């Protein structure tokens, strides 16, 4: 990821992308809400579609067992009609501070460990997500302008969710 940034409609700072090591991707943003609220919305089955796609209507939450050792499986319909399945296992859950889970796409074995950290900054919350991959090649598959644009759009939607709640026409597939 290139270190680029994009202001969302309500973001207090740009979304920041970085590559802290040969096998890690990191993204960070400050959201206008306390850690308890940001954590709850970021880990609620009903709001997951806003986390996993710029278009929440294209997300189907198949499995979401939000407990240590629990599994998750989420399908995202792509613009070209194909489907990406994101899946893994929760390794650590420390509300409202931290979630650690494995992360894989499609039928591949788990290729990354994702760590989500929710840090209070006054009335706001800094969310930092780090993916640690086994290889640089795996890391690079989730990097670059296309990945940054998609993640920024997802987090812009999430920011809107913090202010207005779930829209009336929330995804029926969640």
Task: Answer yes or no: is 85 within a domain.
Answer: yes
The predicted pLDDT at position 164 comes to 73
Task: Answer yes or no: is 168 within a domain.
Answer: no
57 secondary structure, DSSP code: G
Count of the separate structural domains present in the chain: 1
For the segment 110-144, what is each residue's pLDDT rounded down to a tens digit? Answer: 679 999 999 999 889 999 999 999 999 888 888 88
State the CATH number of the domain containing residue 44. Answer: 3.30.530.20
The predicted pLDDT at position 13 comes to 74
Task: Answer yes or no: is 171 within a domain.
Answer: no
Task: Answer yes or no: is 23 within a domain.
Answer: yes
54 has pLDDT over 60 = yes
Q: How many CB atoms lie within 10 A of CB 123?
A: 9
Task: Answer yes or no: is 130 within a domain.
Answer: yes
48 has pLDDT over 60 = yes
Task: Answer yes or no: is 6 within a domain.
Answer: no
Taking the C-alpha atoms of residue 91 and residue 67, their distance in angstroms, rounded to an integer, is 8
Higher-confidence residue: 3 or 46? 46
166 has pLDDT over 70 = no
Residues of the domain holding 49: 16-162
Task: Answer yes or no: is 8 within a domain.
Answer: no
Task: Answer yes or no: is 112 within a domain.
Answer: yes
Q: CB–CB of 62/74 below 8 Å?
A: yes
Beta carbons within 8 Å of 89's beta carbon, 6+ residues apart: 69, 70, 71, 72, 101, 102, 110
Q: CB–CB of 56/50 below 8 Å?
A: yes
The predicted pLDDT at position 6 comes to 37
């Amino acid at each position: 990821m290139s270190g680029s940034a994009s202001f969302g409609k309500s973001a207090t700072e740009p979304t920041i992308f970085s590559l802290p090591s040969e096998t890690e991707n990191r993204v960070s943003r400050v959201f206008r809400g306390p850690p308890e609220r940001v954590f709850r919305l970021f880990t609620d089955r009903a709001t997951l579609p806003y986390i996993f796609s710029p278009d929440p209507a294209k997300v189907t939450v198949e499995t979401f067992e939000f407990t240590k050792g629990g599994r998750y499986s989420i399908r995202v319909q792509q613009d070209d009609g194909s489907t990406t399945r994101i899946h893994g296992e929760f390794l650590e859950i420390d509300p409202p501070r931290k979630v650690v889970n494995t992360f894989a796409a499609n039928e591949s074995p788990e290729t990354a460990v994702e760590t989500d950290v929710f840090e209070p900054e006054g009335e706001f919350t800094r969310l930092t997500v780090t993916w640690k991959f086994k290889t640089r090649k795996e890391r690079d598959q989730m990097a670059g302008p296309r990945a940054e644009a998609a993640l920024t759009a997802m987090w812009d939607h999430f920011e809107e969710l913090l202010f207005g709640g779930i829209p009336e026409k929330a995804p029926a597939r969640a």
